[in-house]
Amino acid sequence: MKPARKKTKVKDIDRTIYDFKDKVNPSFEVKEGLTPAIVEEISQKKGDPEWMRRFRLHSLEVYNKLPIPSWGPPLDGLNMDDIVTYIRPKAKMSAKWNDVPDDIKNTFERLGIPKAERESLAGVGAQYDSEVVYHNVREEVRRQGVVYTDMESALKSDKYGPLVKKYFMKVVPPQDHKFAALHGAVWSGGSFVYVPEGVKVEIPLQSYFRLNAPGAGQFEHTLIIVSEGADLHFIEGCSAPKYNVANLHAGCVELVVGKNAHLRYSTIENWSKNMFNLNTKRAVVDEGGTIEWVSGSFGSHVSYLYPMSILKGEHSRMEFTGITFAGKGQSLDTGAKVVHMAPNTYSNINTKSISKDGGYCAYRSSVKIMPDAYGCKSSVSCESLMLDDISGSDTVPVMDIQNDDVEVGHEAKIGRISDDAVFYLMSRGISEQDAKNMIVTGFAEPVAKELPVEYAVEMNNLIKLEMEGAIG
């Protein structure tokens, strides 16, 4: 008897290693909801300088004025009054792993953070809920003059305080959108990196964010300054266990890339599937500088994530490589933005997305070439793979070109695994199952190969696509 035709099944990503929960045991927690009093309270507890206190209150005013976005996936289920903005775990920031409280230490041990540090990283920062609990930089990197510390220490330090004041939310102003304003009001934790002129950091720096408390928000602020001729690779990882209430992540990443400097910013985002990930990332690139984004989006219930590059100096460049994988109950709206402000700038965007099991992916981008930015080149390529007919995938790119001396190209493709390709591989003696497996792995490969080894391994674990062959 002929077996019944079966649909190809792709197994969901195994999230169990991220789903362990610690008992919430905070030393300080503000009330749910957001009022000037709460913002004042956060500011006071954190011992902000006066300008920061005023900045927070100003951001709150902006937040109250701005509407929520009129586009993108629905934000139903996100009730700001239910989000606890600031939770400080019972731990002081530490540079020694052994000093980190046991439950928090266990969390990061299970996620493999200190191991990764020992093996291949120049420095690690770990943030648990709203506060950074661990920060360490290798001695040789420190000797080069590289500063890698948590935002609060930098803000309060005499040496770096003025730098923080100069750049803090200048790249992403609170007026940008509602969640940037929210971030400005309640930000907490995050990393500050300063690479001096001409210094090349050979091994990557890493920070890892973990949100443990239910119904909480994480609002870490990352500010990276790469001075003239310097070189840095920064890696960011995120995870959280799954609770039945909505969590919110509205972080902000500001990158300042100096003249002829090079910065690669890699992210593997694997928040749990109740997370609203409304993160803002932006880089300003000076003459001859390069920003490279590598971005993998796997987690979250709803994501709005579009790293933006402002090519301010002549001959600056940006490259964006991204992959988005949306499974059941996920709406991941991701992409990139670039503004060519200066002549002879170059951008290249390359994205892949996979939708399965009722998941929804959207690729959204904007390429803008300003009137005086002549001689610019931009190329965009996005590919979407649909693994079943209950999922969805949209492609929403926009190009805005304001002078004639440009070369702008765009291609997009959408479809499923090609029967011809499967047939070809099968004709070479490969089983249907393996053939489909190979095709999906090959689809994601251009992104995997951009990641450092240990992250590529994590990503491979994430895209462990177990294919069950279709018969008949």
Partner 1 sequence: MDLALKEINRLPVPTWNLLGINSADINGVPAVTAPYKGEYLSELPEGVSISDKTVYAPEIDTGMGADAQKFSENNKNCGATLRVKAGVKADKPVFLRYRIDGKNSSVVDVTCIVAEEGSEVTVVENYSSEGGAKGFHGGLTKIYAAKDAAVNLVQVQMLGDGCTHFDNVGGAAEENAVVNILQAQLGAGEAYAGCKVKLLGTGSRLNVDTIYFGDKKRKIDINYVAEHTGRKTRCDINVNGALMDESSKTFRGTINFLKGAKKAVGHESEYNLLFSRKVRSRTAPLILCSEEDVDGQHAAATGKIDPDRLFYLMSRGLSETDAKKLIIKAQFQPAVEKIPDPSIRDAVFDYVKERLDSVESIS
> Using the rule CB under 8 A, is 172 a contact of partner 1?
no
- Region near partner 1 per CB under 8 A, out of 47-55, 180-188, 282-290, 366-374: 366-374
CA distance 254 to 274: 26
Phi, psi of 221 (to 5 degrees): -115, 125
Of the candidate residues 14, 202, 407, 445, the single one contacting partner 1 (CB under 8 A): 407
Q: Measured from the CB atom, is 196 or 392 closer to partner 1? A: 392
> Using the rule CB under 8 A, is 421 a contact of partner 1?
no
For the CB of residue 410, give the shortest distance to partner 1 in the complex, in Å. Answer: 4
> Using the rule CB under 8 A, is 364 a contact of partner 1?
yes
Size of the site for partner 1 (CB under 8 A): 39
Site string for partner 1, 268-297 (x = CB under 8 A): ------------------------------
- Region near partner 1 per CB under 8 A, out of 150-158, 311-319, 399-407, 456-464: 399-407
Q: Measured from the CB atom, is 302 or 387 closer to partner 1? A: 387
Q: Which residue has the tokens 């951009």?
A: 450
Q: Measured from the CB atom, is 116 or 369 closer to partner 1? A: 369
> Using the rule CB under 8 A, is 391 a contact of partner 1?
yes
Task: Write the DSSP string, 188-217.
Answer: ---EEEEE-TT-B--S-EEEEEE--STTBE
**Contact (Cβ atoms closer than 8 angstroms) between residue 207 and residue 239:** no
Q: Measured from the CB atom, is 108 or 346 closer to partner 1? A: 346
Torsion of CA 202, 234, 314, 366, to 10 degrees: 150
Q: Across the strands, what pairs with 194?
A: 147, 225
For the CB of residue 398, give the shortest distance to partner 1 in the complex, in Å. Answer: 5
- Using CB under 8 A, which residues numbered 119 to 138 contact partner 1? none
Site string for partner 1, 308-347 (x = CB under 8 A): ----------------------------------------
Q: What angle do CA 421, 323, 375 make, to 5 degrees?
A: 100
Site string for partner 1, 34-73 (x = CB under 8 A): ------------------------------------xx--
> Using the rule CB under 8 A, is 386 a contact of partner 1?
yes
**Contact (Cβ atoms closer than 8 angstroms) between residue 189 and residue 251:** no
Of the candidate residues 6, 413, 449, 464, the single one contacting partner 1 (CB under 8 A): 413
For the CB of residue 55, give the shortest distance to partner 1 in the complex, in Å. Answer: 23
For the CB of residue 366, give the shortest distance to partner 1 in the complex, in Å. Answer: 6
Of the candidate residues 35, 402, 431, 461, the single one contacting partner 1 (CB under 8 A): 402
Of the candidate residues 387, 425, 448, 459, the single one contacting partner 1 (CB under 8 A): 387
> Using the rule CB under 8 A, is 9 a contact of partner 1?
no
* Long-range contacts (CB closer than 8 Å, 24 or more residues apart) made by 105-110: 106/22, 107/20, 107/22, 107/210, 107/212, 108/134, 108/208, 108/210, 110/17, 110/20
**Contact (Cβ atoms closer than 8 angstroms) between residue 147 and residue 194:** yes
Of the candidate residues 2, 389, 420, 429, the single one contacting partner 1 (CB under 8 A): 389
Of the candidate residues 175, 348, 366, 460, the single one contacting partner 1 (CB under 8 A): 366
> Using the rule CB under 8 A, is 395 a contact of partner 1?
yes
Q: Measured from the CB atom, is 20 or 424 closer to partner 1? A: 424
CA distance 472 to 467: 16
Handedness of CA 309, 208, 179, 255 (dihedral sign): negative
> Using the rule CB under 8 A, is 408 a contact of partner 1?
yes
Q: Which helix (H) or strand (E) holds 113?
A: helix 113-120
Q: Which residue from 46, 250, 56, 81 is spatially nearest to 155, judged by alpha carbons?
A: 46
For the CB of residue 316, give the shortest distance to partner 1 in the complex, in Å. Answer: 20
* Long-range contacts (CB closer than 8 Å, 24 or more residues apart) made by 102-105: 103/22, 103/23, 103/25, 104/22, 104/128, 104/133
Inter-axis angle of helices 50-65 and 36-46, nearest 10: 150
The length of the chain is 472
CA distance 253 to 278: 12
* Binding footprint of partner 1 on the chain (CB under 8 A): 70-71, 362, 364, 366, 368, 371, 374, 384, 386-389, 391-416
